[in-house]
Amino acid sequence: MALLEVEDLTVEFYTQEGVVTAVDGLSYSIERGEKFGVVGESGAGKSVTALSLMRLIERPGRITSGEIRFKDRNVLEMTETEVRSIRGSEIAMVFQDAQTALNPVYTVGEQISEAIRYHLGYDDREAKERTIELLDTVNIPEAKARYSDYPHEFSGGMQQRAVIAMALSCDPELLICDEPTTALDVTIEAQILAEIEELAEEFDTAIQLITHDLGVIAELCDRVMVMYAGKPVEKAPVEELYYDPKHPYTVGLMSSIPRVGDDRDRLQTIPGTMPDLVELPPGCSFHPRCPFAEESCSRTEPSLIDVETDEGATSPDDHLAACLEYTDGLTGGLEYEVVVEQTDAEEKPHQTGDGRDD
């Protein structure tokens, strides 16, 4: 049994423009201790998926179907009290903006201690000791003195570290990180990602890392799900996805990653924008932006299938993609090239993909 199993999740927002299907029949699972990445452009449904896990979707939104099983209990059938007892203790969340997660009128230390007292029932002294230990673990220098600082006395990177410390304070089994380093500069980003990874190993915490940056996923994750317009378009172990992407959208995302020695003035991005979620294009949602689209792509919606066997998923490690190419629905095939530069001295793989393994 996986730690988290999401099955056929659909989330809709009832807006004046119509019904926005932000998440559409989404299924995935996360094993205990696994680091699972969710990647896609803005509006793909990544945050809505994460909020659903903690039952934090508010009006005008609603989870209209599906199951979310955390440790084999369906979160969607729990009472409000049951969900509240899971939030922050068994499933914790770190958002992009540390400032909104920290209350400016309390010291950083008090806020973390409060979470520990509430969830773990520690007394004041024990909670303070544990907080200082945690601040130290996330590399806040002079943690004991810093305990009494207010959030504004912390730099952006330190605030985010404090939020991570708070999230980990109750030893959650699942940590959801939603763009945890987007607001930070690149050096701090790398340090914080390394710290998240180290802490997750130490506490054996599973991570769902949400980002629009495939490079960040490659750093940290074991498996990855690429989302487009509320649906998964590709799922794979991270190395496979990185070296051998099977969906044209993933290939597009990859060419947006800056690489060492890249002398293009501007990074190439995928032309066009995400479709209107009120009225998705017929067939494959990505077809209006896809360089390989054929007439059939506007008629038939591809299902997410194993690229080797043309069948549905049988194991979490399957490489799945939702493109007609894998059901022989494309006549022209996929022609793209993926060049991945290694940062170490190893041989540099250079692959020509036609969407299939040769």
User: What does DSSP assign to residue 302?
Assistant: P
Q: Cα separation of 123 and 269, whole Å?
A: 53
Q: Does 13 bind ligand ATP (CB under 6 A)?
A: yes
Whole-angstrom CA distances from 307 to 8, 256, 293, 323, 324 are: 21, 24, 18, 9, 10
Q: Distance between the two ends of the chain, CA-based, in angstroms? A: 34
Q: Using alpha carbons, select from 63, 61, 39, 43 the residue that is nearest to residue 53.
A: 63
Which C-beta is closer to ligand ATP: that of 43 or that of 232?
43
Whole-angstrom CA distances from 329 to 144, 245, 289, 295, 304 are: 62, 18, 18, 10, 14
CB of 349 to ligand ATP, least distance (A): 30
Q: Which of 35, 46, 128, 319 binds ligand ATP (CB under 6 A)?
A: 46
Q: Does 63 bind ligand ATP (CB under 6 A)?
A: no
Instruction: Considering only the C-alpha atoms of the chain, give the largest distance between any 2 of them, rounded to a whole number of Å.
Output: 69
Q: Cα separation of 140 and 112, whole Å?
A: 14
| Contact assessment for residue 134 and residue 112, using Cβ atoms and an 8 Å cutoff | yes
Which C-beta is closer to ligand ATP: that of 44 or that of 207?
44
For ligand ATP, the binding residues in 147-176 under the rule CB under 6 A are: none
CB of 179 to ligand ATP, least distance (A): 6
Which C-beta is closer to ligand ATP: that of 225 or that of 320?
225
Q: Using alpha carbons, select from 306, 338, 329 the residue that is nearest to residue 235.
A: 306
Q: Which stretch binds ligand ATP (CB under 6 A): 40-48, 99-107, 238-246, 310-318?
A: 40-48
CB of 217 to ligand ATP, least distance (A): 14
Q: Does 108 bind ligand ATP (CB under 6 A)?
A: no
CA angle 177, 104, 190 (to 5 degrees): 35
Q: Which stretch binds ligand ATP (CB under 6 A): 29-37, 43-51, 64-72, 77-85?
A: 43-51
Q: Which stretch binds ligand ATP (CB under 6 A): 12-20, 114-122, 167-175, 298-306?
A: 12-20
Q: Cα separation of 294 and 289, whole Å?
A: 11
Q: Which stretch binds ligand ATP (CB under 6 A): 14-22, 29-37, 83-91, 191-199?
A: 14-22
CB of 44 to ligand ATP, least distance (A): 4
User: What does DSSP assign to residue 275?
Assistant: P
Q: Which of 37, 40, 172, 232 binds ligand ATP (CB under 6 A)?
A: 40
CB of 316 to ligand ATP, least distance (A): 22
Which C-beta is closer to ligand ATP: that of 47 or that of 205?
47
For ligand ATP, the binding residues in 286-325 under the rule CB under 6 A are: none
Q: Which of 9, 34, 43, 111 binds ligand ATP (CB under 6 A)?
A: 43
Q: Cα separation of 310 and 322, whole Å?
A: 10
Q: Which of 35, 47, 119, 134 binds ligand ATP (CB under 6 A)?
A: 47
| Contact assessment for residue 29 and residue 289, using Cβ atoms and an 8 Å cutoff | no
| Contact assessment for residue 25 and residue 233, using Cβ atoms and an 8 Å cutoff | no
| Contact assessment for residue 4 and residue 68, using Cβ atoms and an 8 Å cutoff | yes
Q: Cα separation of 77 and 73, whole Å?
A: 8
For ligand ATP, the binding residues in 220-279 under the rule CB under 6 A are: 277
CB of 283 to ligand ATP, least distance (A): 20
Omega before 291 cis (within 30°)?
no
Q: Does 177 bind ligand ATP (CB under 6 A)?
A: no
Q: Does 60 bind ligand ATP (CB under 6 A)?
A: yes
Take residue 106 and report the two structure tokens written for it: 């309390």
Which C-beta is closer to ligand ATP: that of 204 or that of 279?
279
Which C-beta is closer to ligand ATP: that of 9 or that of 206?
9
Residues that bind ligand ATP (CB under 6 A): 13, 15, 20, 22, 40, 42-48, 60-61, 212, 277
